A and B are shown apart, each in its own frame.
Chain A
Amino acid sequence: MSLLRAWSRDLAMGARFACAGGREGWIRTLLTGVGVGLGVALLLITTALPSALAARTDRGDARSTVGSPTAEHPGPDTLLVARSNQTYRGKDIEGTLVQAEGPKAPVPPGLSRIPGPGELAVSPALKKLLQSPDGALLRERLDGRITETVGDAGLTGPSELLFYAGQSGLDANLNRVERITAFAYERQTERLSPLLLLLVVLTFVTLLLPVAVFVAAAVRFGGERRDRRLAALRLVGADSRMVRRIAAGEALAGSAAGLVLGAGFFLLGRELVGGFDIQQRSVFPADLDPAPWLAALVAVAVPAAAVAVTLFALRGVVIEPLGVVRTTRPSRRRLWWRLLVPLAGLGLLTPLTGRGDDGGEFNRYQVSAGVVLLLVGITVLLPWLLERLVGRLRGGPVSWQLAVRRLQVNIAGAARLVNGIAVAVAGAIALQMMFAGVEGEYTVRTGEDPTRATVSIILGSNVQGDPEQLARQVAGYPGITDAIPLRSVSAAHEPVAEQGLVDVTVGTCAALREVAQLDSCKDGDAFWATGGSTLGGSYGGRAEPGDKLYAGNVRGYEQDVKPVEFTVPATLRTVPSRPDPVGVQRSGLLLTPSVAPGDTGGYGAQQIFVMTDGPAQEGLERARTAAFKASPLSVASTLHTTRQSRSYSTIRTGLFFGATGVLILIGTSLLVSQVEQLRERRKLLSSLVAFGTRRSTLSLSVLWQTALPIGVGMALAALFGIGLGAVLMRMAVQEVRIAWAEVAMMTGAGAGVVALVTLLSLPPLLRLMRPDGLRTE
């Protein structure tokens, strides 16, 4: 009882000191609060991220038609849908064509009714884009009457671009048109592969650990001043246990302020997140909702950690009535137990080597613990390493000497300053190595060749008008050098055939040169292309000169469309095929227009390769618009050499978000402690200036003082990052390859933070160097 009372009394007194204590006092509490608050906000965001992503996925699934129940025949509850995704100025727009077949047709989520023919329902972001001058070209494409705005329930994020276009000409027989009776999608959770799981674990650990280190540093802002105040309390009769409790109370007040500020920052950040749009992904503020138990955990853990850190920091300190005495000389830092920590981490990770192979399983706790121990190893080894290195330094110019001596006196403080950044950089290096290694695995080479064509348009099978006419129109747009139409259709020796089908590609000589190596070509020529890898010969069909073939509806899908008869010209020559710009290597018949079969009634595919010379934004947009007008089922895709797995780029986006936050956070903490340290030395700085010290000397010494520990920290971080990366890659059965560019980039980022912090601490330094500091207050 009395103990409890003593605790509550002393904690309360400490809290009072934190809030009162004049301007200095509350500024210090505010700094601590801001520091802890930033950490808390980041923690809350991180804990809210999984649920936010889940909410996104849920809504995405809810409107998906991929696994929707379908119907054979039109009914009162059927809806025809087709995807019509668009690209506009590099942005992806998700589009769905809808056509209700009955009064009870399912309404997409976020809409009150199905848009009628010519009507358009758009997301708020798309509506804004369409109404802005930037969206003028897009408005030509999506020229329907906007009758409704898609509600949040139908969107994954606030800045998502999405539309539903009401149609009248859809037909369930058309390619890519589905007849569904409901939206929603039976989720089949895609299990993360062990490798991706490893990456996720690593990302979270790498982000959260520096935050923890940072919060620990933040509660110690103003430590020296606090020590003096505690000494004064001893003088008036507080015993040593009381002052420890009072110190704990101060830390508690600071962290409580931090929790409040953190909640504020979080709410503010949440609102800001709504306006953010990274790689076209955005998050609804309402989705960013940490699980209550996680939030509660943060609310309890942060103050508890603050008190623990404070008591731990006071462990080697005796607070005497006349001042603070460090017990004896702090003993030389020992290496052995410091080495044990990373070695234990390594010990946990090594047995997992090679488990990342297909179907392998990682114990995720073992992985996390191993990674945490390895990274924490940096924070325990760094003080030792700094002591060894800095302790030996002698000589050098005055600025160097001032910095080195200052560091020698306070190794722990310097290490504390750098720990967070070193852990973040080490983790980021390991991650970068993993990504670099995994990139090959999760990045697909598409085979597309953007140098040959910029955009490939596959026209919808219900295309209106003549594709050749369309191609000529597109070729006339600004910046477009050429637009080459190609028609592909199946042919057979019988009007209805199951086997022996022959691929027929129809185009001008210029067009055919894109798919085969032709020595000479004139209209009327016909070729037999060989060597195709994907299509063509796959049906095993063969055509000889003079053969009579049927093209189009040769599989007998529809009774009312008859195949078109044509004759293979006698001049048929055999040529080797080559991959077309999208990477497809065709074989089969290649026909110039005059010997080609006539209209095949919607069977076969019309493709147009659009070539540009340099960027041709406007021309390409108009080409896409023309394709959409010709048929909303057209697909116009921009050619890329590689395409990344979606999960991979999501994790990388997460890492990017997190790394930015952590760097900003640590930069802030560095700056705050730097400025605070300068304030405490105000009188000394003034007297140094009095006897003629150049401002540049003092500024340089501030730079050294940060740069030296950061340099050591970065070296250690690089070492551990590479080591951790190597271990993890071996676990994932990846070839260990050190991504030096990434290592340089990450350590460079750390160095950049130092430079920035030094730069930002110069104005207060210059102000503190003014002679006012000599005046006795």
Chain B
Amino acid sequence: MTPAGSLLTAVGLTKTYGPTKALDGAEFSIHPGEVVAVMGPSGSGKSTLLHCLAGIVTPDSGVITYAGRELTSMSDAERSALRRSEFGFVFQFGQLVPELTCVENVALPLRLAGTRRKAAERTALSWMERLQVEDVADKRPGEVSGGQGQRVAVARSLVTSPRVLFADEPTGALDSLNGELVMQLLTEAARATNAAVVLVTHETRVAAWSDREIVVRDGRSRDMERAI
């Protein structure tokens, strides 16, 4: 079942929130360096799928394997450590700490992993240059535009050189041009570091930056490439 060479795979995921079945037997797999778009109507369970894959939420049943290790049987601390070192995250809203400056926000994951402040901020700054937001380094998130903020968030997600980048509607709050820019920089950076990207979106134009898409509908996933 698991395609050879997969970095992250999931089989038979189910997750229930109260009366609603968010996932009902979803499957997923991604290769290193691959960008996979997760599409589907709102409420279909695509965000829940991402949360499960990233080890933020434990599924009720099913198995998730990351680099040969079973994510679903790890402790919370182990999964947290994994998220710190191997995964990166970009969300639509509310992810930058409003009190920290942008460069401090970008450096945060490195500092959480134990890097010293100076070194962490140096690495952070180089990533900010790559995402063309080095000029807002010392501003606070409230003082920069939405597009800049989102690129700062992308820089933060990449700063630990993660092997998997989880992006949940990363352009959801942006206009076309800024959305384009974020997607371009995100996919380029991910390809350059051979990071896999799990991209949750409902926009086809955003999904077009992916290599492959799966569709989640009523908690079930459908891999369009193999369906055809």
Contacts and interface: CB of A to CB of B under 8 A. Distances in A.
A and B, direct touch (CB closer than 8 Å):
yes
A694 B80 contact: yes
A692 B109 contact: yes
A692 B94 contact: no
A714 B109 CA distance: 34
Given A401-B104, A774-B56, A688 B47 contact: no
B104 A692 contact: no
A770 to B, nearest CB: 9
B99 A406 contact: yes
Contacts of A697: 112
B85 interface: yes
A210 to B, nearest CB: 28
Contact of A684 (B81, B84, B94): B94
Contact of B104 (A405, A691, A693): A405
Contact of A692 (B81, B117, B168): B81
A221 to B, nearest CB: 20
A405 B91 contact: no
Contacts of B85: 692
Contacts of B100: 401-402, 405
B47 A776 contact: yes
B97 interface: yes
A691 B81 CA distance: 9
A614 interface: no
Interface string B86-110: 0111011111011110001000110
B57 interface: yes
Interface in B52-78: 54, 56-57, 77
B48 to A, nearest CB: 8
Contacts of A771: 51, 56-57
Interface string A686-708: 01111111100100000000000
Contacts of A405: 97, 99-100, 104
Interface in B119-162: 140, 156-157
B98 to A, nearest CB: 7
A398 B56 contact: no
Nearest to A410: B99
Given A398-B111, A690-B56, A683 B80 contact: no
B191 interface: no
B172 to A, nearest CB: 10
A691 B57 contact: no
A395 interface: yes
Contacts of B181: none
Contact of B112 (A406, A408, A694, A774): A694
Contacts of B83: 690-692
B189 interface: no
B11 interface: no
Contact of B95 (A395, A401, A409, A684): A684
A693 to B, nearest CB: 6
A334 interface: no
Interface string A357-401: 000000000000000000000000000000000000001011001
A771 B59 CA distance: 12
B82 interface: yes
B95 A687 contact: yes
Interface in A728-772: 771
Interface residues of A, number: 24
Contacts of A332: none
Size class of the B contact interface (CB-based, 8 Å): 35 or more
Contacts of B97: 402, 405, 684, 688
A405 B84 CA distance: 22
A692 B82 contact: yes
A325 to B, nearest CB: 11
A691 B109 contact: yes
A688 B109 CA distance: 9
B99 A398 contact: no
Given A395-B117, A401-B104, A691 B99 contact: no
Contacts of B94: 683-684, 687
A391 to B, nearest CB: 13
Contacts of B109: 691-692
B188 to A, nearest CB: 21
B80 A692 contact: yes
B84 A691 contact: yes
B84 A692 contact: yes
A413 B94 CA distance: 21
A775 interface: yes
A398 B92 CA distance: 24
* Best-buried of B56, B87, B89, B168 by chain A (most CB within 10 Å): B56
A688 B47 CA distance: 17
A248 B114 CA distance: 48
Given A398-B108, A398-B112, A691 B87 contact: yes
Contact of B47 (A687, A689, A775): A775
A758 B95 CA distance: 24
Contacts of A692: 80-85, 87, 109, 112-113
A456 B207 CA distance: 96
Contacts of A398: 108, 111-112
B112 A693 contact: yes
Contacts of B88: 691
Nearest to A402: B97
Contacts of A684: 94-95, 97-98
A162 to B, nearest CB: 62
A632 to B, nearest CB: 73
B190 to A, nearest CB: 16
A774 B82 contact: no
22 contacts: A395-B117, A401-B104, A401-B111, A401-B117, A402-B99, A405-B99, A405-B100, A409-B98, A409-B99, A683-B93, A684-B97, A691-B109, A691-B156, A692-B82, A692-B85, A693-B84, A697-B112, A771-B51, A771-B57, A774-B47, A774-B56, A775-B48
Interface of A: 395, 397-398, 401-402, 405-406, 408-409, 683-684, 687-694, 697, 771, 774-776
Given A401-B111, A408-B99, 20 more contacts: A405-B100, A684-B97, A687-B95, A690-B51, A690-B83, A691-B89, A691-B112, A692-B82, A692-B83, A693-B80, A693-B112, A694-B77, A694-B80, A697-B112, A771-B51, A774-B51, A774-B56, A775-B17, A775-B47, A776-B47
